Amino acid sequence: MRELVKCPRCEDFCWGNCRCIGFQCAIPWQDKVSERSWQDVYAKEASDAAEKFAERTDCEGDYTIIRRGEGVIWVRDPDNKVTVFDIQAETEPTYTAIERQLPDTSTPEHT
């Protein structure tokens, strides 16, 4: 029986053997990427690799992509072909309910 397992390389949940491959991603500086900037990212497609890299880089850094709402990621596939992706980022709103402490005498009345 096939099981849903978390792939140790790409960290996605997959049925059986994951078909992710190794990409390298980098954020360009003035339309260039230095050789040291490339980082390994495992994903099934180049666009997935760009999204994973953007999320990881934003979390580890100072949320540059989230704050600007966009960014550019270069993705290099195993054949050395480079694809450039425009990344769009949005933050999710979070709502928190905190119970209000009312004085005993002012219980809300239903009319």
Candidate list 6, 9, 56, 67; residue touching Zn ion; CB under 5 A: 9
Min separation Cβ 13 and Zn ion, Å:
9
Segments of 2-50 assigned E as strands: 4-6, 13-15, 21-26, 39-43
Contact 75, 85 (CB under 8 A): yes
Min separation Cβ 64 and Zn ion, Å:
27
Closer to Zn ion by Cβ: residue 20 or 50:
20
Q: Tell which phi-psi region holds residue 104, choosing left (phi > 0), alpha (psi between -120 and 50) or beta.
A: alpha
54 in contact with Zn ion (CB under 5 A): no
- Binders of Zn ion among 19-48, rule CB under 5 A? 20
Contact 71, 50 (CB under 8 A): no
User: Which stretch in 12-20, 25-33, 60-68, 76-84 sits in contact with Zn ion by CB under 5 A?
Assistant: 12-20
